[in-house]
Amino acid sequence: MIAYVIIFLPALVCLFWAVMHTVISPRTSTYGIVLALILDAMVFFFLDACYMHPGVSVNTMLFVGLLGSFVTPCMVPLMALYIERLSKGSVYHPLQAIWVVVPAVLFTAAIVIFMVSDPSKIKTLIDGFYSEGWISVRPYRGKPEYIYFFCTELIVRAVLILEVLALIFIVFRILKREKFKLKDITDFWWKGKRIELSKIQIKNIAVLIILMSTKFVVFRGDVRINLWYITVQDILISIYVFKFCYLGLFGTVKTLKLSEIKNSFIYNLNENNRDRVLFESIENLIDNLDEYKLLKIREKIGHSLNIEEEVPENVTKDNAKIAKHLVEVNAENMEEGSLMAKFHHLMIEEQAFLQPRLSLDDVAEQLNSNKTYVSKLVNNSYNLGFPELVNTLRIDYAEQYIVNHREAKQDEIASACGFLSASSFNTIFKKVTGMTPKFWIASIDKKR
């Protein structure tokens, strides 16, 4: 009994999310297409459940086949339009609705043929086909019942197969364009890295298509034999429908982090996690803003708090260039062949500071000296510890790199400048310059 209830679960999940999207996300740019896809899927899953349920009458079965001839071919094109919208951010164009012509023609033809057919003969024909094969169909050739069967069963399935093949082509083209790697998914789940929303949704759609395609293998007469198979299948479909619809709330946002998904309802918090949730939410919002908007928000915060923009203690706006300046000044007064001259050549000319795991021992070894002498040399010459000097040189290099590579991601910048991770790069950049990399580039653009 429970199993026959569960087969309606995917339709109920779709109904729930249709209401949620209408209430929560009517302003997102993907609202219309997502809602259409959810409603179409809801009708499809309801019809499928009716088809599988043994207590459904003959008239209901015929209605299922009739409506299914329209609903089923609509689903895949809607998926394709949604994926294209996510990957390109394109707006809706009336010509994109041309795909609805095929389902409409099939549906109209099925209605007309059904009106001149005998419902009981249609039922006998369909049952005979699934139990005995084509032998049972031959006596009906040339009759309206055969044409109805041909339109609602064979042509619909053929159209669906062609649509799935077209969707696979579109998906592969998008994944190739966005340079998709399986590592992107694993890094998203296990390392908390950002990933394009389109990639997650493509994965969810691919799983749903595979699960839904297996439904065509099980016919109504086999339900009792494969009941638990169908039950597990519908539970899995419900899970992925839930995931797909939930992520649909994010509209056409380009990338997502796992923390953004967990904190999507930012006021769903308590006293124990309030600060963490709000901080992560603000941090994720900052990641999605461009430099100009970040600078405007920074100015607004300053006005709201009635404070002037000021540089943190012991930090100047040109602090990132202090170390390099000191090294160059000392280079003018150093003796050729001295330890200082060798240190200058290694750090400035050979840019040893770009080595991610550079240590004082490494420098001392390359200079054929003792790390104690090199440490004293750095402290006495620059009034900085060796780690501070290296990081400041890296930030000076990073400023030039950011200006010359505006499209570079933070992981790429961090790696190019000798940092082991984007988080350590952000922390040190802010410590040296007094602002995050995004604010820094925004302030540079404002001055220009």
With 0-12 / 13-18 / 19 or more C-beta atoms within 10 angstroms meaning exposed / middle / buried, residue 128 is: middle
- The share of the chain scoring above pLDDT 90, in percent, equals 8
Q: Output the pLDDT for position 315.
A: 40
Q: Output the pLDDT for position 127.
A: 72
Identify which of 152, 147, 146 has the alpha carbon closest to the alpha carbon of residue 63: 152
Whether residue 334 is predicted with pLDDT greater than 80 in this model: the reply is: no
pLDDT mean over 347-352: 86
pLDDT averaged over every residue in the chain? 77
Question: 320-328 long-range contacts, Cβ below 8 Å, gap at least 24?
Answer: 320/392, 320/395, 320/396, 320/398, 320/399, 320/432, 320/433, 321/396, 322/392, 323/382, 323/384, 323/388, 323/389, 323/392, 323/393, 323/396, 324/348, 324/392, 324/393, 324/396, 326/381, 326/382, 327/382, 327/393
Residue ranges of the domains in the chain?
Answer: 2-257, 274-304, 319-447
pLDDT mean over 331-348: 72
Whether residue 2 is predicted with pLDDT greater than 50 in this model: the reply is: yes
Q: Output the pLDDT for position 209.
A: 86
Chain segment 276-319, per-residue pLDDT in tens = 666 666 666 666 665 556 666 666 665 555 544 444 444 444 44
- Listed in sequence order, the residues at least 6 apart from 307 whose beta carbon sits closer than 8 Å to its beta carbon are none
CA angle at 114 for the pair 108 and 116, rounded to the nearest 5°: 115
Residues 114 and 117: their CA atoms lie apart, in Å, by: 5
CATH of segment(s) 319-447: 1.10.10.60
- Residue 195 parent element (H or E): strand 195-196
Structure-block tokens of residue 329: 């000044």
Judged by average pLDDT, the poorest of 196-200, 209-213, 233-237, 331-335 is: 331-335
CATH of segment(s) 2-257: 1.20.1070
Residues 361 and 374: their CA atoms lie apart, in Å, by: 9
Q: Output the pLDDT for position 133.
A: 67
Q: Are 263 and 284 in contact (CB under 8 A)?
A: yes
Q: Are 155 and 102 in contact (CB under 8 A)?
A: no
CA angle at 288 for the pair 284 and 289, rounded to the nearest 5°: 120
Helix (H, G, I), strand (E, B) or coil at 139: helix
One-letter amino acid at 11 equals: A
Q: What is the CA radius of gyration of the chain?
A: 32
Spacing of C-alpha 312 from chain mean position: 37
Which of residues 222 and 294 earns the better pLDDT score? 294
Judged by average pLDDT, the poorest of 172-186, 190-204, 287-301 is: 287-301
Identify which of 206, 226, 404, 432 has the alpha carbon closest to the alpha carbon of residue 311: 432
Whether residue 236 is predicted with pLDDT greater than 80 in this model: the reply is: yes
Helix (H, G, I), strand (E, B) or coil at 186: helix
One-letter amino acid at 182 equals: L
One-letter amino acid at 106 equals: L
Q: Output the pLDDT for position 35.
A: 92
Residues 90 and 82: their CA atoms lie apart, in Å, by: 10
Domains 2-257 and 319-447 are alike in CATH topology: no
Whether residue 188 is predicted with pLDDT greater than 70 in this model: the reply is: yes
Q: Output the pLDDT for position 39.
A: 93
Q: Are 433 and 315 in contact (CB under 8 A)?
A: yes
Chain segment 367-412, per-residue pLDDT in tens = 888 888 888 888 887 778 888 888 888 988 898 888 888 778 888 8
- The share of the chain scoring above pLDDT 70, in percent, equals 74
pLDDT mean over 27-50: 87
Structure-block tokens of residue 159: 């159209």
pLDDT mean over 237-243: 93
Answer yes or no: pTM beyond 0.75.
no
Structure-block tokens of residue 326: 């000191």
pLDDT mean over 312-331: 48
Q: Output the pLDDT for position 18.
A: 94
